[in-house]
Amino acid sequence: CHLIHYLRLSHHLIVLNYLIHTFDMLKSASSEDINITDAIFDGVKVRVFEPPAKGDERLKRSVVYIHGGGWALASARTSLYNNLCGIMAESLNAVIVSVEYRLVPEVCFPEQFHDALRATKHFLQPDVLAEYSVDPSRIAISGDSAGGNLAAAVCQQLSKEENLTVRPKLQALIYPVLQAFDFNTPSYQQNMNMAILPRSVMINYWIDYLSGNYDLVHSLLINNHTALDVGQALSFRRHLNWTSLLPSSFKKNYKPVIQTTGKAEIIQEIPALLDVRAVPLLAENETLQLQPKTYILTCENDVLRDDGVMYAKRLENAGVEVTLDHFDDCFHGCLIFTVWPTDFSAGIQTRKSYIKWLDENL
């Protein structure tokens, strides 16, 4: 993929996505009773999973789901997400709306955020909810990895909009990516070479998403973009102070990496590094106080572990009821690996816990 990119034949992410879709064997949802339809919500493609109607049944619950893939890969239509959403629809007896937002490199930030926001706001309209027989008081917003990033950002934006008549009851974030301020949190240091999502790959996803330059990888890796002399970053430092936000069991013996002098021009070149729509962990407490009851799933073997743990702590400090569901023996991306030949016990375990929380709280 990178050779093709180097030869300027195509972008490596386009090639990688093509390979993913080529080798993807689309399996049916968990039950033939689940009705799967594709629709357009305010210009955004979505896939809707509906369980069968029952004669005397009241309105159904619903989850707006936003898939992961570094804002660049996968799809609501791939077998892994098709299977997950089908099982959610069946297990919860709920309508699942899976958002097919546009990907890098076709578009970059903030378009993925806008797609997810538009589709969600369209679905939250009373007449649309009525069309799908959804209870307006029992809707969750959820997503994994980059989808968790978009779900958190959308939830924050919805909380600020005064004219909404329907708001989500819950948000459920699965190993979400929530910050690009510090690439040396304990989990980034501990798992820098971990399979699935090494630190360098996560930084590359950020650069692609925010239309940056790969020449900046090293500077980002050592936190030059948030050095003490970078004035734009100073006001945000308190929001990501992991020495106070993480429990000692996560901090271990790792030390903060804070440069005295750095490169302020990085923020000038990529201002979205400090944009709360891209980096939800930078949100002010006034916004966090407005967030709904929250579930955050984290895995020990994941560079993003501390993103989720810090967000959970900040939400809790802001008065939000939070469930932090941490798995010591699991890895990034595991929840969708439940279909042969990648049907891992870690995937079954995390999916069961996630759906159980939704079932008990939605």
Q: 302, 306, 307, 325: which is the annotated catalytic residue?
A: 302
Q: 30, 62, 145, 187: which is the annotated catalytic residue?
A: 145
Alpha-carbon gap, residue 336 to 3, rounded angstroms: 29
Burial 183-206 (b: 16+ CB within 10 A, else e): bbbbbbbbbeebebbbbbebbbbb
Q: Are 132 and 62 in contact (CB under 8 A)?
A: yes
**Dihedral sign, CA of 270, 271, 277, 278?**
positive
Owner of token pair 């076709």 = 106
Alpha-carbon gap, residue 195 to 222, rounded angstroms: 21
Alpha-carbon gap, residue 296 to 294, rounded angstroms: 7
CA distances (Å), origin 238, targets 69, 81, 144, 197: 29, 36, 26, 27
Instruction: Provide the CA 106 distance to its chain's centre, in angstroms.
Output: 19
**Residues with Cβ < 8 Å from 115, sequence gap 6 or more?**
44, 99, 101, 102
| Active site annotation includes 332 | yes
Give catalytic residue positions. 145, 302, 332
